[in-house]
């Protein structure tokens, strides 16, 4: 796998998943620190989720290119959402429903 170890990819994938779930839950992420003025705008949380989703898709794409199994960190339904690449209202509404509340970020 060259310079990228399995542990490195696992860590990046986990970080991206946590970032997306924190954005879904409207919890603080580094995005809030980068753009503090945006909190006042109604579209802020939508944009924050979009950025986190894009990051997650980018990490998954890297995993696929490096032939690293990424889907094990997600429920089957979540993996299907990621594979379809479209962040729809269904993804936002049902991300946790098929996964159980234990996956919620604390």
Mean pLDDT, the chain, as a whole number? 87
Q: Other CB atoms closer than 10 Å to residue 102's CB: what's the count?
A: 6
Summarize pLDDT for 63-104 with one digit per residue, the tens. Answer: 999 999 999 999 999 999 999 999 998 999 999 975 444 444
pLDDT value of residue 34: 87
What residues contact residue 24 under an 8 Å CB cut-off, 6+ apart?
49, 52, 92, 95, 96
Tokens, residue 13:
């994938």
Q: How far apart are CA 20 and CA 99, in angstroms?
A: 15
pLDDT value of residue 61: 97
Secondary structure of residue 61 in the 3-state scheme: helix
Indicate the length of the chain as a whole number: 106
């Amino acid at each position: 796998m060259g310079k990228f170890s399995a542990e490195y990819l696992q860590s990046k994938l986990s970080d991206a998943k946590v970032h997306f779930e924190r954005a879904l839950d409207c919890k603080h992420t580094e995005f809030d620190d980068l753009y503090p003025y945006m909190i006042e705008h109604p579209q802020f949380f939508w944009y924050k989720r979009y950025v986190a989703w894009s990051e997650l898709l980018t990490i998954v794409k890297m995993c696929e290119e490096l032939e690293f199994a990424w889907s094990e960190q997600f429920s089957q339904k979540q993996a299907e959402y990621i594979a379809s690449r479209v962040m729809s209202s269904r993804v936002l509404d049902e991300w946790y429903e098929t996964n159980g509340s234990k996956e919620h970020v604390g």
